[in-house]
Amino acid sequence: MRRITDLSLLSGMLRLIVLYIVILSLNGCASTKSVHEKYQPIPRHLEEYIERNEFSVAKGEDVIGQLAFIGLERGDSLPDIARHFSLGINGVTAANPGVDIWVPEAGERIMLPLSFILPDAPRSGIVINLAAMRLFQFKGDSESLKVLTYPVGVGTEERPSPTGQMNVWRKVVRPTWHVPASIAEDHRKKGDPLPAEVLPGPLNPLGEYALYLSKPSYLVHGTNKPASIGLRATNGCIRLYPEDVKKLYENTPVKTAVNIVDQPYLIGQRNGLVYMEVHASLEDVDDDEFDKMYRKLKKIEKESGRMIDWNKVKKVLAEARGIPVPIFEIRQGSGKGVAEPVEVRHPGELYGRPEIPELRADAWSVLAADVPDRIEAVRLAAIINHQGPQIPARVVSKNASYHVVAGPFNDISEAKDAIKRLKIDLEIDGILIEREAAKPPAPGAVKESPLAAEIAKTAESINLRGYALQIGVYAEEKNALSLAEKLKQKGYEASILKNGKKPLHRVLIGRFDTKKKALDESRLILQKEGIKSIIYRY
């Protein structure tokens, strides 16, 4: 990789394109999001299910799948949406710039990037595109070709995944991880010494299934960290969601060819249209791949006898959303049209979403943080919940602040292990909360029995974000109580929120998932009762 400022080897056209991207990038994420919103198509269909893994490949075509949209619900996070639809977090965030990963707005409509351009490689065996962080497994022949595709996590910049031709050497169910010396040394420096080998179980980073490649020390395997799929987070291996690696394992014979490529710029055809898909960052440009993409586009121009709209190309490069975008009709009138995106109904339950058990006063727990802002507390709890293996966490409101509490843990050793992992993985200094029934206190424990009992009674789930209508604010509680009583007599769901160092008493009506619902209710109350309100975000 060479820095984007090294333009000496690029053609004049390429230099203009790259400079355009650099200038556009100076406007930051806000500019990207406005482009995203402006060109976001509105689907006309509603679907209960959309295919996410298995597709037929039409002869002579390169684009598979279909884009979709889904409305988010309160408590959703993008990693949970990504896993349910077999997408990597990279794909979901790139397709939806500006959306909060951990605490997105309830009611927000996001794209599911379930359409892909196949890599420029022979369509047999397994092909992995590191740039797209996606694996493609081909079945059948050119007359009846199918492809199974899954998102993957790949190597970091320090320990990148290899490229080139190899094959599946052997397969193992419930593999033992033999810790490489370099990785053991990294963990030792962080104060996290590893054993020489890690047996199968929840602490094994290889998961339940592993395909060992003919290139020594590299594997395609599962994971105990599902939220890392779609990230550069491995030591060079390729990791998949647990449910995806099981299907891959069952469908892959030993000696299957594996071709690993790194193609950030993809050009493909479907229904008479040329599509472009970009996974390159604005900071680095792979000159060889960039030049290859440019030559393909010039060849299409020459063969068609028509000029490509280079402004479209610039937009796709600038946005780099990782989705196939139509840029050219091969022959005028030959295109059958762009496949319309569909709207997918939100599932009743997101597959793989971390479960958060109820806190108990008779169990151990850990205070991970005490923050004044509820949204930040919810965000931190979500991040902790998505550690692998999971550390269950939730938010507990206490006076004018919010506690992020991990647990419950059945014994003190589990709680102390969670404290250690919070420190190593997230640089969080957790405080041990002793279970209420523990006598005498264990050495090193911080006795907080009253807090433990309170947590067990008042713990809230991660699903906290919303809106209410604020009708009035009072310093005196009796005035707030009087107004709330009058509102209740009129049939409204009134409540009082007390917060601040010098407590103010807010009289609120209702709880709403979205700001729009709150605004609609505010207008209705004003029209019906003449009561004015403002939107309060809790």
CA distance 349 to 55: 25
Q: Are 248 and 173 in contact (CB under 8 A)?
A: no
Catalytic option among 36, 84, 237, 403? 237
Sort 338 into a burial class: Cβ within 10 Å, 0-12 / 13-18 / 19+.
Answer: middle
User: Counting every residue, how long is the chain?
Assistant: 538
228: DSSP letter: G
CA distance 302 to 404: 61
237 noted as active-site residue = yes
| Start-end of H helices in 358-469 | 374-385, 412-426, 449-458
The Cα diameter of the chain in Å comes to 85
Sheet holding 109-112, edge to edge: 46-47, 342-344, 68-71, 109-112
Catalytic option among 84, 221, 386, 505? 221
CA distance 433 to 436: 9
Which residues on neighbouring strands pair with residue 167, listed in sequence order? 257
Q: Are 102 and 77 in contact (CB under 8 A)?
A: yes
For residue 284, which of 165, 183, 160, 162 has the smallest C-alpha distance?
Answer: 160
CA distance 328 to 301: 9
- 3-class DSSP state of 164: strand
For residue 437, which of 367, 366, 360 has the smallest C-alpha distance?
Answer: 360
CA distance 348 to 363: 30
Cα-trace Rg, the chain: 27
Q: In the chain, what is the straight-line distance between the N-terminal and C-terminal CA atoms, in Å?
A: 46
Q: How many helices (H) and strands (E) does the chain have?
A: 13, 32
221 noted as active-site residue = yes
309: DSSP letter: -
Which residues on neighbouring strands pair with residue 444, listed in sequence order? none
List, in order, residues 6 or more apart from 330 with CB less than 8 Å away: 269, 272, 273, 274, 300, 304
What residues are labeled active site?
A: 221, 237
